[in-house]
Structure 1
């Protein structure tokens, strides 16, 4: 999927959010794992006596305000903008660590309500994991 002479960063979001780095040679370098939005919401609910359990929409073009005017809106704001900020920071740091002129960024997974805010260079790939398995299997059969 990635162009020749390009490194890649892969963001996958579901129960957990993973941000992984692949160098220009196609070698997995490692990554980061953090709780997904719904897991974070459940953790706030389970770990506190007063905070409600909220459902954050998985997709959408409406972004919540960064300043919540009540508890529910403040939780939504923190979960939404906090996860986006974490992913953006990880992408920036991993990009710098890959020492490459061009880094392709791919996103996959069902819980990316802010994917449009990651920038135009991001390529969405709904079945990235399955595509990777198919490529690996083909390589094993041919190699």
Structure 2
């Protein structure tokens, strides 16, 4: 059996998943995530996962297709290219596609003024959201290093969206640029008005994230809201509009893009 390998190389982490042919959207046989600092573990982790998926005595692990969304720059692209070609994986270059924002793919029309300038992770998230919720006006919020909030129409048109600093980046900016304010890690939203500085920072940052999602939902008159990304577990409880938390919306979009190819 050959597998589809999906890779989402973000600004903080490199995430990957293995999907068997014909698998349900978002149903991975194996998956993992590596912070950039320990990303060198990626090749061995993937090789072990492939060996486990194929099982003993079934021949060499095989990857048929690779689709990579990379927003982390050329250095990460070069690193991934070298790792995929390493002997323990041996994935041929023709099998690898670098996902890019196109005018149209997988049932989503990209209405960005310059379609190629749309971040490929945002386009993948839009494809994933539309695949999960066809025939609905959707807002998808991907809450990572940056928070992106985008609108997709029921007929699959990506309208555009918003970009703001992510939850951690907001808190870090306050700690770095304001005297005597502490660095605050994401956590549960305090009840009511905060009566200490740590909770006041957290409350303000969460309110800004949740308020932007609510604003986009109302502006789009959406019927569905998907929240994803590493900070989603902290932000989602503060969002006052109907929503659901979906893990790895970018990789779900990559999976949908490959299935439509």
Tell me the TM-score range normalised by the shorter chain: 0.7 to 0.9
Structure 1 unmatched ranges of 5 or more: 96-101
Q: For residue 119 of structure 1, report the CA deviation from its aligned partner.
A: 5.3
Higher CA-based Rg: 2
Greater RCO, 1 or 2 (C-alpha within 8 Å, sep 6+)? 1
Residue aligning to 1:3: 134
8 Å Cα contact 1:66-1:78 kept in structure 2? no
Structure 2 unmatched ranges of 5 or more: 1-131
Distance 1:73 1:118, change over 3 A: closer
Residue aligning to 1:105: 225
Residue aligning to 1:51: 181
8 Å Cα contact 1:12-1:19 kept in structure 2? yes
Q: For residue 122 of structure 1, report the CA deviation from its aligned partner.
A: 1.5
Residue 27, structure 1, aligned to residue 157, structure 2: yes
TM-score by length of 2: 0.46
8 Å Cα contact 1:19-1:91 kept in structure 2? no
- Alpha-carbon distance in structure 1 between the residues aligned to 2:173 and 2:153: 34
8 Å Cα contact 2:138-2:223 kept in structure 1? yes
Residue aligning to 1:99: none
1:65 to 172, 177, 191: 191
Q: For residue 55 of structure 1, report the CA deviation from its aligned partner.
A: 0.8
Give aligned pairs, total: 129
Q: What do residues 21-79 of structure 1 show as CA deviations (whole Å, max 9, x unaligned)?
A: 1112212111101111110011111112221111122xxxx531341212222212211
**Structure 1 range deviating more: 102-111 or 28-37:** 102-111
8 Å Cα contact 2:151-2:161 kept in structure 1? yes
TM-score by length of 1: 0.79
| SS of 1:114 mapped into structure 2 | helix
- Alpha-carbon distance in structure 2 between the residues aligned to 1:109 and 1:136: 19
Distance 1:110 1:17, change over 3 A: same
| Structure-to-structure mapping, 1:90-129, within 5 angstroms | 90-95=216-221, 103-112=223-232, 113-118=234-239, 121-129=242-250
Q: For residue 104 of structure 1, report the CA deviation from its aligned partner.
A: 2.0
